[in-house]
């Protein structure tokens, strides 16, 4: 695994765990991400990505990220990680906004990153929000028709 890939992932986690204020966030995100960056097939500007990071930071107080696994091959890096924080605000999820529960949430994520010219240009990501939100009581599954 290349040292620069390790450095990129470390900087990525630090940025999302401690989002800078104001224009500092945009500058920091531009250092790591292409503008726009394609996420799951949808282009997102650096400004939009920084705003998403701010919302996530506000929703998960004391957010921290634990690297579970990393594999790099040329311009692609796969990263599995666990993010944890106290759910104190509305959280963006694939199911929509999840109201704060006050519980500690642990969300497992896998990102497949494409790096072009030293910046992340494309991400395919998947995350287990449903399990975390179910354990916190934020969502309830109902039995379907029998």
Residue with the bigger pLDDT between 121 and 1: it is: 121
Q: How far apart are CA 104 and CA 88, in angstroms?
A: 9
The number of distinct structural domains making up the chain is 1
pLDDT tens string 68-82 = 999 999 999 999 999
Is 94:85 a contact under the CB 8 Å cutoff? no
The pLDDT value given to residue 2: 45
In the chain, % of residues over pLDDT 70: 96
User: How high is the mean pLDDT of the chain?
Assistant: 90
pLDDT above 70 for 128: yes
- The model carries a pTM of 0.86
141 located within any domain: no
142 or 115, greater pLDDT: 115
Across residues 40-51, what is the average pLDDT?
A: 96
Q: In this structure, is residue 146 part of a structural domain?
A: no
Residue 143 within any structural domain of the chain: no
Establish if 100 belongs to a structural domain. Answer: yes
Tokens of 128: 């287990």
For residue 126, tell me if it sits in a domain: yes
Q: What is the CATH number of the domain that holds 49?
A: 3.10.450.50
| 144, part of any domain | no
3-state helix, strand, coil in the chain (%, to 5): 30, 45, 25
The top-scoring range by mean pLDDT among 21-25, 70-74, 127-131, 136-140 is 70-74
Confirm if 79 and 67 have CB atoms less than 8 A apart.
yes
Token pair recorded at residue 61:
């107080």
Domain extent at residue 27: 3-135
**HSE on the CB side for 132, CA within 13 Å?**
26
CB 54 within 8 A of CB 21: no
C-alpha to C-alpha distance for 126 and 118, rounded to whole angstroms: 23
Concatenating the DSSP letter of every residue in 17-68 gives HSPPSHHHHHHHHHHHEEEEEEETTEEE-HHHHHHHHHHHHHHEEEEEEEEE
Structure tokens at 68: 């579970």
């Amino acid at each position: 695994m290349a040292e620069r890939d390790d450095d990129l992932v470390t900087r990525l986690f630090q940025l999302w765990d401690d989002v800078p204020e104001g224009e500092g966030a945009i500058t920091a995100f531009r250092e790591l991400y292409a503008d726009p960056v394609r996420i799951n097939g949808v282009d997102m500007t650096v400004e939009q990505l920084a705003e998403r990071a701010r919302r996530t930071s506000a929703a998960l107080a004391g957010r921290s990220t634990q690297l579970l696994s990393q594999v790099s091959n040329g311009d692609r890096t796969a990263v599995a990680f666990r993010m944890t924080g106290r759910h104190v605000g509305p959280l963006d999820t694939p199911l929509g906004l999840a109201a704060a529960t006050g519980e500690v949430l642990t969300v497992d994520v896998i990102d497949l990153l494409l790096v072009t010219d030293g910046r992340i240009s494309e991400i395919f990501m998947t995350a287990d929000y449903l399990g975390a939100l179910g354990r916190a009581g934020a969502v309830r599954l109902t039995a379907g028709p029998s």
